[in-house]
Chain A
Amino acid sequence: MIQIDGLRKTYDSLVAVDGVSFDVHDGEVVGLLGPNGAGKTTMINMICGVLQPDGGRVLVDNRDIWLEPKKVKQDLGVVPQEISVYEDLNARDNLSFWGSLYGLSGSDLTDRIDESLSRVGLAERAGDKVKTFSGGMKRRLNLCMGLIHQPKFLLLDEPTVGIDPQARLNILDVIQEVAQAGTTVLYTTHYMDEAEQLCDRIAIIDHGRVLALGTLAELTTTAGEAEVLRLSGDFSSQPSREGLHTISGVRVLRSDDTSAVLAIDPEGPGLLAVLPEVLEGDLTVDDVSIQRPNLQSVFIALTGRELRD
């Protein structure tokens, strides 16, 4: 189990991680979902022992990563956001080097390299220099480097950023396989579909804090939102915008001159009762869309803004 307790990191006046605490249980896949700059990478760097926190601690199987770094890191596999491979070496050389750092050698190492490369579809390019690879191939090799020693815990920091859909699917498949084999996974992403597809539990992160943590069902429930109503049109009139706040059964999450986002209270009269009241007001509504409860609506409900913001 990975236990994260009161983790904190500041850069001058910027609080990058603000007292984060949560656990990742054995065999579980936990996703850290948040926009760019939310503090996900800083958290991962502190959890894997690269960045020393200003406060808090990280226990991996009850061992403090800063007190017993080598022992703990032996059980960790990390796939960073940057593609960190040696481009002037071939794929096999890269994996051989990486495996040797974990004490693998001889036929054991060779077998692991062959198995890893086959798993991500790079077996035929094993002897080619990495600089001849596409971005997606480099990402897949990057993933192999985190898996070569068959770690007990796998930390992935946005491993699918900037690659083609096919390579992305391959990476997600491999992660699912690894998770099903019992590896404990901590996965950061800003893609909601990835978090929904892969993760047993999801932590919603923003401004260095965990806003909510739970299964998808728990999150939608605890956020207290059923549906999100998005309106676009002419909302430049301040009184009419303020009128939205008087409608019972909705909560205004955000409004400006051209749009408004409302959360429908699941305990209230419901969408069908609320919608006519919204449209009968002084607002000029050009378009209406209804979003069923999902991570996006939860994120909006928690932060008042879109995840992509």
Chain B
Amino acid sequence: MAVLAILRRDLNRYRRNPVRTALLFSMPLVMAGIFAIVFGGGGVDQVSIRILLWDEDDSLLSTLAEGAAGSSKADGQLDLVPVGTEGPAMMDRGEASALVHIPAGFTDDFLSGTPTVIDIVKNPSQRFLPQVVEEGAGVGAAVLSAASRSFRDELTQVKSMVDGQGFPTDLAVATLGSGMNNRFQTLESVLFPPVIGFETVTLTDESAEEDSRGILAYFLPGLAVMGVFFLAQSATRDILRDRESGLLRHLLTAPVSPADYLAGKCLSALMVSSLGLSLLILIGVASGVSWGPPVAVSLLALATAVAASGTLLLIMSLVGSERQGDALTTIVIIGWSMLGGAFVPISQMPDFLKPISASTMVYWATDAFNTLALHDGGLGDIIFNISVLFGVGLAFLAGGAFILGLRIRRGAV
């Protein structure tokens, strides 16, 4: 009777404080959503790089660059703005990611083989986009340098044609064409076929949606496990609050034994954890996450709730105050979540951390949920995980209840 009264009262407190309850239950969902957006790429506008091009040479290079920026391949990601001497002032005002300055005489110097420089002014208030421009310009410079060295004779002829009066003679053009052909034949084995090729594949909308669901399925199980631990923290924290406020002492003046009280609190922690996890699983299903066989998922959810409640009850039984309990349990939950694979897959961790991961309850729960959701596993594949979660969870529950009961009987309430 008293056990159920305590359970009803705890659930009533969640009902009477809807904002707090909603925040508590939605926390892992919000985190999973953030992870999906950050790593899934969905929902974020494409970034456009704005580059100011100050071409004092009125060169072929800038014409080519402008053409490239306007091509359909650039798809609005490259915004190339031709500027004059006002370019540096625009950079001072932070109006672009970078300013590319092609000095006067650049084409002549390139054709004659004289070393020359392209200046790039980067916007210091931006971190990544100017770096992209710098890297791109570096590649361009390397290509031009290689061309300058490989076609030195031909470029010299081109320069003399450009510098001469009127149109070049047929003989001069034929000689240049013949020379270029010979040069290409010499370089054929190097240039054709390319040693490295690349192919761009654009995903259709349908496949992109599948990928987004995959990302959520990837993060939601781990974060749901972490969320269950936080829910258990909230439920078990009440024990310390009751103790410090005198509520527990008052409760024990009623026909309520310490065992009744602790059973009620354990049941309450289990119920809240299970409800929270069930809610997350349902929301995951609605978002397209396939959790796996329902029976296996249900058993695993219950085992996870037992493990979370047991762990938190044990910690709360050992600390002296609510503040200590809050600090210690938060450290344990975050630490276990990081080590246990809730944030980062275990496979990405250094080898020396992997055995430590296996010592956390989060690992056994997350690993089992991932086995079901990502690797099409069944109950047989996770039965060991479930056993560990149930076994250790129940042992922790018993240990925590024993220590708390002892402290209550000794008058530490």
Contacts and interface: CB of A to CB of B under 8 A. Distances in A.
Interface of A: 45, 48-52, 69-71, 73-74, 76, 78, 80-86, 88-90, 93, 97-98, 100-103, 129, 145, 155
Given A49-B252, A73-B256, A100-B1, 5 more contacts: A50-B249, A82-B249, A88-B13, A89-B9, A89-B12
Contact of A84 (B5, B8, B16, B250): B250
- Max chain B Cβ within 10 angstroms of own Cβ: one of A50, A51, A71: A50
Given A80-B249, A84-B250, A98-B254, A52 B409 contact: yes
Contacts of B164: none
Given A86-B247, A88-B13, A101-B2, A48 B253 contact: yes
Interface string B344-370: 000000000000000000000000000
A101 B245 contact: no
17 contacts: A45-B411, A50-B252, A70-B257, A73-B254, A84-B245, A84-B247, A84-B249, A84-B250, A85-B247, A86-B247, A88-B13, A89-B16, A90-B16, A93-B12, A101-B2, A101-B255, A101-B256
Interface string B219-255: 0000000000000000000000000011101111111
Interface size class of B (residues with CB under 8 A): 20 to 34
Contact of B257 (A45, A48, A69, A89): A69
Given A97-B8, A101-B256, A88 B16 contact: yes
Interface string B142-169: 0000000000000000000000000000
A155 B247 CA distance: 16
B413 interface: yes
B21 to A, nearest CB: 11
Contacts of A85: 247
Contacts of B413: 50
A86 B253 contact: no
A100 B8 contact: yes
A89 B13 contact: yes
Contacts of A129: 16
Interface string B398-412: 000000000001110
B411 A51 contact: yes
Contacts of B207: none
A202 to B, nearest CB: 23
- Max chain B Cβ within 10 angstroms of own Cβ: one of A82, A89, A101, A102: A101
B250 A82 contact: yes
Contact of B246 (A70, A84, A97): A84
B250 to A, nearest CB: 4
Contact of B253 (A76, A81, A83): A76
Interface in B17-56: 17
Contacts of B247: 84-86
A202 B257 CA distance: 32
Contacts of B256: 73, 101
Given A80-B249, A82-B246, A97-B8, A102 B411 contact: no
Contact of A78 (B13, B245, B250): B250
Contacts, number: 80
- Max chain B Cβ within 10 angstroms of own Cβ: one of A69, A86, A89, A103: A86
Interface of B: 1-2, 5, 8-9, 12-13, 16-17, 245-247, 249-257, 409-411, 413
A98 B5 CA distance: 9
Contacts of A88: 13, 16-17
A159 to B, nearest CB: 12
Contact of A101 (B249, B254, B411): B254
Contacts of B257: 69-70
A103 B256 CA distance: 11
A90 B12 CA distance: 10
Given A86-B9, A97-B8, A101-B5, A50 B253 contact: yes
B37 to A, nearest CB: 34
A52 B13 CA distance: 31
Contacts of B9: 86, 89, 93, 97
B249 A45 contact: yes
A78 B16 contact: no
A86 B254 contact: no
Nearest to B256: A101
A80 B255 contact: no
Nearest to B238: A86
Contacts of A102: 254-255
Contact of B255 (A74, A89, A97): A74
B23 to A, nearest CB: 14
A31 to B, nearest CB: 19
Contacts of A69: 255, 257
A293 to B, nearest CB: 36
Nearest to B244: A82
Contact of B411 (A52, A80, A86, A93): A52
A93 B10 CA distance: 11
Contacts of B17: 88
A85 B241 CA distance: 12
Task: Please list the 6 inter-chain residue pairs (A to B) with the smallest Cβ-Cβ separation, ordered nearest first.
Answer: A82-B246, A78-B253, A84-B250, A100-B5, A70-B255, A101-B254
Contacts of A97: 5, 8-9, 12
A85 B16 CA distance: 15
A195 to B, nearest CB: 22
A147 to B, nearest CB: 13
Nearest to A71: B255
Contacts of B254: 73, 78, 98, 101-102
Nearest to A145: B250
